Amino acid sequence: MRSQTARTRHARRRARFVGCLLAAGLVGELSQTVVSAKSDTRTTYEVFEQRYRILDSAEGYVERGVASWYGAKFHGNVTASGERFDMYALTAAHRTLPIPTDVEVTNLRNGKSIVVRINDRGPFVDRRIIDLSYAAGQALGLVGAGTGLVEVRAIGVSRTVPRSDPLPTVWPPGFVQVGAYSKPANAERMRKRLEASGFRSVVVHEGSVGGRRLDAVRLTVTDPVAYARVVGRLRAIGIANAWFAEEVSAIRPQESPGVNTLKR
In the chain, domain spans: 4-157, 174-245
Check residue 173 and give its pLDDT.
66
Strands (E) across 108-261 are located at 113-120, 128-133, 147-157, 174-181, 202-209, 212-221, 243-245
Q: Global pTM?
A: 0.55
Cα 203 from Cα 261, distance rounded (Å): 19
Report residue 182: phi and psi, to 5°. Answer: -80, -20
Check residue 78 and give its pLDDT.
86
In the CATH scheme, what is the code of domain 174-245? 3.30.70.1070
**Mean pLDDT for back-to-back runs of 10 residues, the chain (264 residues):** 51 47 33 34 78 91 95 85 85 93 94 92 88 90 92 86 52 77 92 91 83 87 74 77 65 44 26
CA 239 to chain centre: 14
Q: What fold does the segment set 4-157 form as a domain?
A: Barwin-like endoglucanases (2.40.40)
The strand pair at 147-157 and 91-93 is best described as unpaired
Check residue 71 and give its pLDDT.
86
